[in-house]
Amino acid sequence: MQYPHARILVFCKAPQEGNVKTRLAKSIGETEAKEVHEYLARHCLQQMLDFSVAPIELWCTPDTDHDFFHRCHKDLGVPLKQQTGDDLGQRLQHAVRETLRHHAQVVLVGTDCLALTADYLRSALSAASQNKTVIVPAEDGGYVLLAMNELQERLFTDMPWGTSRVYAETMARVTGEVETLMPLWDIDYVADLRRLQVATDDIVLDEQFRTYLKKLDLS
């Protein structure tokens, strides 16, 4: 493992119908959106483990009690952490602060970007170890990865989460040296799932996920 003293924090909501992938649910239904969320989360965790760039932790909300989180811990051995705070910014800030008390660098990721590679993680951690803040923009105006070795609270306070302004606002607020990697795409809308259906030659999915995608009605 190249960065044993860093941590990759995977932020994940419990897969509850009506509470995850809500934009996607408008097109495919709440049950299917929940199932897609589970597949994406499992894929993300397995991918991070396979990359073996740095140890990972699964940061859970609203708590760590959901069966899905327990299965991830049992099957994959990932440690479970409790997200703390009233909004996403507070929860991210708390996780970064607590992690940097004990570890050298921290990488924040969600579970929606299947295009994230080991090279991105290595580049992010290499730059963070040189006191840089690292951002991987999302094509929709957010970001899919944020890495640092020092907490900047302003990056998480009163941020317009869930909008196309998050990346631009983050760049406007960040201090010190910044490294921006090439943008990637994530899964928020039905068009993104259609894109994934035809991108499976480039993105390695397990057979169960691949079969599930083929059966989804995305018309």
Q: What is the pLDDT of residues 182-206, one digit of tens each?
A: 999 999 999 999 999 887 667 888 8
For the chain, what's the residue count? 219
pLDDT at position 36 is 96
* Cα 124 from Cα 114, distance rounded (Å): 17
Backbone φ and ψ of 9, nearest 5°: -100, 115
Return the domain boundaries, the chain: 7-214
The dihedral over CA atoms of 36, 77, 109, 192, expressed in degrees to the nearest 10, equals: -20
* Cα 133 from Cα 150, distance rounded (Å): 8
pLDDT band per the 50, 70, 90 thresholds, residue 32: very high
DSSP 138: B
Whether the bond into 183 is cis, omega within 30 of 0: no
Instruction: Encode pLDDT of 135-158 as tens digits.
Output: 999 999 999 999 999 999 999 999
pLDDT at position 201 is 67
Tokens 């580049």 belong to which residue?
123
Other Cβ atoms closer than 10 A to 219: 6
Quick check: 14 pLDDT over 70?
A: yes
H or E element in which residue 55 lies: none
* Cα 106 from Cα 124, distance rounded (Å): 10
- Express as a percent the part of the chain with pLDDT over 90: 90
pLDDT at position 204 is 85
| CA angle in degrees (0–180, nearest 5) for 32-59-48 | 80
Instruction: Encode pLDDT of 66-97 as tens digits.
Output: 999 999 999 999 999 999 999 999 999 999 99
* Cα 197 from Cα 163, distance rounded (Å): 25
Do 141 and 97 meet the contact criterion of CB atoms below 8 Å apart? no
The letter for the amino acid at 47 is Q
Which architecture characterizes domain 7-214 according to CATH? Alpha-Beta Complex (3.90)
Choose the weakest-confidence range: 6-20, 146-160, 201-215.
201-215
| Mean pLDDT taken over the chain | 95
Beta bridge partners of 207: none
User: Which residue, among 105, 136, 110, has the nearest Cα to 2 in the 3D structure?
Assistant: 105
Do 186 and 110 meet the contact criterion of CB atoms below 8 Å apart? yes
Average pLDDT over residues 104-114: 97
pLDDT at position 197 is 85
* Cα 144 from Cα 113, distance rounded (Å): 7
pLDDT at position 107 is 98
pLDDT at position 166 is 97
Quick check: 167 pLDDT over 80?
A: yes
